[in-house]
Structure 1
Amino acid sequence: MQLTLTSTHLTIDLDWQERLWACHIGSAIQVPLEQIIAVSCDRPDTSWREIRAPGTFFPGVIKAGTYYTERGREFWYATPPWQILNLRLRDHYYKGIYLALADNQSWCDRLQPQA
Protein backbone atom coordinates (compact mmCIF):
# COMPACT_ATOMS: atom_id res chain seq x y z
CA MET A 1 0.00 0.00 0.00
CA GLN A 2 1.26 3.43 -0.95
CA LEU A 3 0.03 6.63 0.68
CA THR A 4 0.51 9.94 -1.13
CA LEU A 5 -0.20 13.31 0.43
CA THR A 6 -0.78 16.45 -1.63
CA SER A 7 -1.94 19.86 -0.48
CA THR A 8 -5.59 18.83 -1.00
CA HIS A 9 -5.85 15.01 -0.93
CA LEU A 10 -4.63 11.82 0.65
CA THR A 11 -4.43 9.01 -1.90
CA ILE A 12 -4.31 5.40 -0.75
CA ASP A 13 -3.03 3.17 -3.58
CA LEU A 14 -3.70 -0.53 -3.09
CA ASP A 15 -1.68 -3.19 -4.90
CA TRP A 16 -3.45 -6.10 -6.59
CA GLN A 17 -3.19 -8.39 -3.55
CA GLU A 18 -4.61 -5.76 -1.22
CA ARG A 19 -7.45 -5.12 -3.67
CA LEU A 20 -8.12 -8.87 -3.80
CA TRP A 21 -8.25 -9.32 0.01
CA ALA A 22 -10.31 -6.14 0.44
CA CYS A 23 -12.60 -7.01 -2.50
CA HIS A 24 -11.97 -3.44 -3.69
CA ILE A 25 -12.34 -2.88 -7.43
CA GLY A 26 -10.48 0.43 -7.70
CA SER A 27 -6.77 0.71 -7.12
CA ALA A 28 -6.97 3.96 -5.12
CA ILE A 29 -9.05 5.66 -2.46
CA GLN A 30 -9.05 9.46 -2.63
CA VAL A 31 -9.70 11.42 0.55
CA PRO A 32 -9.95 15.22 0.43
CA LEU A 33 -8.05 16.57 3.44
CA GLU A 34 -10.99 18.82 4.38
CA GLN A 35 -13.06 15.67 5.04
CA ILE A 36 -10.66 14.32 7.68
CA ILE A 37 -12.14 15.24 11.06
CA ALA A 38 -9.98 13.07 13.35
CA VAL A 39 -6.75 11.08 13.09
CA SER A 40 -5.32 8.70 15.66
CA CYS A 41 -3.08 5.70 16.02
CA ASP A 42 -5.44 3.93 18.38
CA ARG A 43 -6.96 0.65 17.40
CA PRO A 44 -10.70 1.29 17.30
CA ASP A 45 -13.15 -0.78 19.27
CA THR A 46 -14.58 -3.58 17.20
CA SER A 47 -17.76 -5.37 17.94
CA TRP A 48 -19.56 -8.48 16.86
CA ARG A 49 -22.18 -6.15 15.35
CA GLU A 50 -20.28 -5.62 12.12
CA ILE A 51 -21.32 -6.64 8.66
CA ARG A 52 -18.50 -7.39 6.22
CA ALA A 53 -19.70 -6.56 2.74
CA PRO A 54 -17.46 -7.32 0.92
CA GLY A 55 -14.16 -8.20 2.52
CA THR A 56 -11.94 -10.74 4.20
CA PHE A 57 -11.54 -11.59 7.87
CA PHE A 58 -9.35 -14.23 9.49
CA PRO A 59 -8.98 -13.57 13.25
CA GLY A 60 -5.44 -12.52 14.14
CA VAL A 61 -4.38 -12.56 10.46
CA ILE A 62 -6.27 -9.98 8.38
CA LYS A 63 -9.24 -7.66 8.39
CA ALA A 64 -9.78 -6.11 4.97
CA GLY A 65 -12.60 -4.59 3.00
CA THR A 66 -15.80 -2.67 3.64
CA TYR A 67 -17.50 -3.07 7.01
CA TYR A 68 -20.80 -1.64 8.20
CA THR A 69 -20.66 -0.79 11.90
CA GLU A 70 -22.47 1.41 14.39
CA ARG A 71 -20.02 4.16 13.34
CA GLY A 72 -21.05 3.86 9.66
CA ARG A 73 -19.41 2.40 6.53
CA GLU A 74 -15.68 1.79 7.07
CA PHE A 75 -12.72 0.60 5.01
CA TRP A 76 -10.21 -1.68 6.71
CA TYR A 77 -6.86 -3.07 5.67
CA ALA A 78 -5.17 -4.33 8.81
CA THR A 79 -2.69 -7.11 9.48
CA PRO A 80 -0.34 -7.84 12.40
CA PRO A 81 1.29 -6.13 14.25
CA TRP A 82 -1.94 -4.09 14.20
CA GLN A 83 -0.37 -0.63 14.19
CA ILE A 84 -3.46 1.14 12.92
CA LEU A 85 -3.81 4.56 11.32
CA ASN A 86 -7.38 5.56 12.19
CA LEU A 87 -9.04 8.24 10.00
CA ARG A 88 -12.53 9.54 10.82
CA LEU A 89 -14.20 11.29 7.88
CA ARG A 90 -17.23 13.46 7.12
CA ASP A 91 -19.09 13.72 3.81
CA HIS A 92 -17.14 10.80 2.33
CA TYR A 93 -18.20 7.39 1.06
CA TYR A 94 -16.46 5.92 4.13
CA LYS A 95 -16.98 7.28 7.65
CA GLY A 96 -13.71 5.69 8.73
CA ILE A 97 -10.56 4.28 7.17
CA TYR A 98 -8.29 1.98 9.17
CA LEU A 99 -4.88 1.00 7.77
CA ALA A 100 -2.05 -1.04 9.25
CA LEU A 101 1.17 0.88 8.57
CA ALA A 102 4.67 0.39 9.91
CA ASP A 103 5.04 4.19 10.15
CA ASN A 104 1.52 4.94 11.38
CA GLN A 105 2.67 7.52 13.96
CA SER A 106 4.40 9.54 11.25
CA TRP A 107 1.22 9.56 9.15
CA CYS A 108 -0.82 10.36 12.22
CA ASP A 109 1.29 13.48 12.84
CA ARG A 110 1.18 14.56 9.18
CA LEU A 111 -2.60 14.16 8.81
CA GLN A 112 -3.81 15.93 11.94
CA PRO A 113 -6.59 18.31 10.90
CA GLN A 114 -5.58 21.96 11.04
CA ALA A 115 -7.77 24.21 13.18
Structure 2
Amino acid sequence: MAKVSIDGDELVVEIEGMDKLWSLKSRLVIPLANVRGATADPGIAAEPKGTKAPGTHLPGVITAGTFHQDGERVFWNVRDGARTIVIQLADERYSRLVVEVADPAATVTLIERAVAR
Protein backbone atom coordinates (compact mmCIF):
# COMPACT_ATOMS: atom_id res chain seq x y z
CA MET A 1 0.00 0.00 0.00
CA ALA A 2 1.06 3.59 -0.48
CA LYS A 3 0.55 6.72 1.56
CA VAL A 4 0.04 9.81 -0.60
CA SER A 5 0.57 13.33 0.75
CA ILE A 6 1.25 16.87 -0.40
CA ASP A 7 4.37 18.58 0.90
CA GLY A 8 4.50 22.19 -0.29
CA ASP A 9 4.58 21.99 -4.08
CA GLU A 10 5.33 18.27 -4.25
CA LEU A 11 3.30 15.07 -4.36
CA VAL A 12 4.89 12.46 -2.08
CA VAL A 13 4.12 8.76 -2.44
CA GLU A 14 5.51 6.64 0.41
CA ILE A 15 5.52 2.89 -0.18
CA GLU A 16 4.73 1.06 3.03
CA GLY A 17 5.82 -2.22 4.59
CA MET A 18 7.18 -5.08 2.53
CA ASP A 19 5.86 -3.42 -0.62
CA LYS A 20 9.14 -1.45 -0.61
CA LEU A 21 10.94 -4.69 -1.31
CA TRP A 22 8.56 -5.85 -4.05
CA SER A 23 8.39 -2.49 -5.84
CA LEU A 24 12.08 -1.67 -5.36
CA LYS A 25 11.08 1.84 -4.25
CA SER A 26 10.31 3.41 -0.92
CA ARG A 27 9.39 6.93 -1.95
CA LEU A 28 8.46 8.92 -5.04
CA VAL A 29 8.47 12.72 -5.03
CA ILE A 30 6.81 14.50 -7.96
CA PRO A 31 6.49 18.28 -8.46
CA LEU A 32 2.80 19.21 -8.48
CA ALA A 33 3.42 21.07 -11.75
CA ASN A 34 3.94 17.63 -13.36
CA VAL A 35 0.82 16.02 -11.89
CA ARG A 36 -2.08 16.08 -14.37
CA GLY A 37 -4.70 14.53 -12.09
CA ALA A 38 -5.86 11.42 -10.33
CA THR A 39 -8.77 8.99 -10.56
CA ALA A 40 -9.99 6.03 -8.57
CA ASP A 41 -9.83 3.03 -10.90
CA PRO A 42 -10.47 -0.36 -9.30
CA GLY A 43 -10.74 -2.03 -12.71
CA ILE A 44 -7.19 -1.24 -13.80
CA ALA A 45 -5.82 -4.03 -11.61
CA ALA A 46 -7.34 -6.59 -13.98
CA GLU A 47 -5.87 -5.00 -17.13
CA PRO A 48 -2.58 -6.03 -18.79
CA LYS A 49 0.48 -4.59 -17.05
CA GLY A 50 3.07 -4.79 -19.81
CA THR A 51 6.63 -5.92 -19.27
CA LYS A 52 8.05 -5.70 -15.76
CA ALA A 53 11.48 -4.20 -15.49
CA PRO A 54 12.20 -4.37 -12.58
CA GLY A 55 9.22 -5.46 -10.56
CA THR A 56 7.01 -8.16 -9.15
CA HIS A 57 3.81 -9.54 -10.61
CA LEU A 58 1.92 -12.41 -9.00
CA PRO A 59 -1.61 -12.30 -10.49
CA GLY A 60 -4.24 -11.85 -7.81
CA VAL A 61 -1.57 -11.22 -5.16
CA ILE A 62 0.62 -8.20 -5.97
CA THR A 63 1.78 -5.99 -8.81
CA ALA A 64 4.69 -3.76 -7.82
CA GLY A 65 7.53 -1.98 -9.52
CA THR A 66 8.20 -0.55 -12.96
CA PHE A 67 6.29 -1.82 -15.98
CA HIS A 68 6.61 -0.83 -19.64
CA GLN A 69 3.48 -0.76 -21.79
CA ASP A 70 2.78 0.93 -25.12
CA GLY A 71 5.98 2.96 -24.92
CA GLU A 72 5.20 4.26 -21.43
CA ARG A 73 6.81 3.56 -18.07
CA VAL A 74 4.25 2.95 -15.30
CA PHE A 75 4.89 2.48 -11.59
CA TRP A 76 2.62 -0.07 -9.85
CA ASN A 77 2.05 -0.87 -6.19
CA VAL A 78 -1.24 -2.76 -5.89
CA ARG A 79 -2.45 -5.73 -3.86
CA ASP A 80 -6.16 -4.88 -3.52
CA GLY A 81 -7.53 -3.59 -6.82
CA ALA A 82 -10.62 -2.16 -5.12
CA ARG A 83 -8.45 0.53 -3.49
CA THR A 84 -6.47 1.55 -6.58
CA ILE A 85 -5.91 5.06 -7.88
CA VAL A 86 -4.14 6.23 -11.02
CA ILE A 87 -2.07 9.42 -10.92
CA GLN A 88 -1.38 10.89 -14.38
CA LEU A 89 2.00 12.59 -14.81
CA ALA A 90 3.77 14.67 -17.46
CA ASP A 91 7.48 15.26 -18.01
CA GLU A 92 8.42 12.60 -15.44
CA ARG A 93 10.17 9.25 -15.48
CA TYR A 94 6.77 7.56 -15.12
CA SER A 95 3.71 8.48 -17.16
CA ARG A 96 1.41 7.08 -14.46
CA LEU A 97 1.52 5.88 -10.88
CA VAL A 98 -0.93 3.06 -10.15
CA VAL A 99 -1.09 2.63 -6.39
CA GLU A 100 -3.29 1.14 -3.70
CA VAL A 101 -4.28 3.59 -0.96
CA ALA A 102 -6.37 3.28 2.20
CA ASP A 103 -9.05 5.75 1.03
CA PRO A 104 -9.15 6.21 -2.76
CA ALA A 105 -11.84 8.93 -2.78
CA ALA A 106 -10.07 11.06 -0.17
CA THR A 107 -6.68 10.62 -1.85
CA VAL A 108 -8.03 11.59 -5.28
CA THR A 109 -9.68 14.67 -3.73
CA LEU A 110 -6.40 15.62 -2.02
CA ILE A 111 -4.47 15.37 -5.28
CA GLU A 112 -7.08 17.15 -7.40
CA ARG A 113 -7.28 20.06 -4.96
CA ALA A 114 -3.51 20.40 -4.83
CA VAL A 115 -3.24 20.36 -8.63
CA ALA A 116 -5.98 22.99 -8.96
CA ARG A 117 -4.07 25.49 -6.76
Smaller-chain TM-score range?
Answer: 0.7 to 0.9
Greater relative CO (CA pairs within 8 A, separation 6+): 2
Deviation at 1:18, TM superposition (A): 1.5
- Is the contact between residue 71 and residue 95 of structure 1 (CA under 8 Å) also seen in structure 2? no
Deviating above 6 A after TM superposition, structure 1's stretches of 4 or more consecutive aligned residues are none
Equivalence for 1:114: 116
Unmatched segments (≥5 aa) in structure 1: none
More helix by share: 2
Q: Kindly report the root-mean-square deviation, in angstroms, between the aligned alpha carbons of the 2 structures.
A: 2.0
Equivalence for 2:8: 7
Q: Secondary structure at the match of 1:93?
A: coil
Q: Secondary structure at the match of 2:106?
A: helix
- 1:1-115 to structure 2, matched below 5 A, reads 1-15=2-16, 17-24=18-25, 27-42=26-41, 43-44=43-44, 46-47=47-48, 50-70=50-70, 72-112=72-112, 113-114=115-116
Q: How many residues align?
A: 112
Unmatched segments (≥5 aa) in structure 2: none
- Is the contact between residue 3 and residue 101 of structure 2 (CA under 8 Å) also seen in structure 1? no
**What is the identity, as a one-letter code, of the residue corresponding to 2:36?**
I
TM-score w.r.t. length of structure 2: 0.84
1:48-77, Cα deviation, whole Å (9 max, x unpaired) = 6x1100111111111100000116101000
TM-score w.r.t. length of structure 1: 0.85
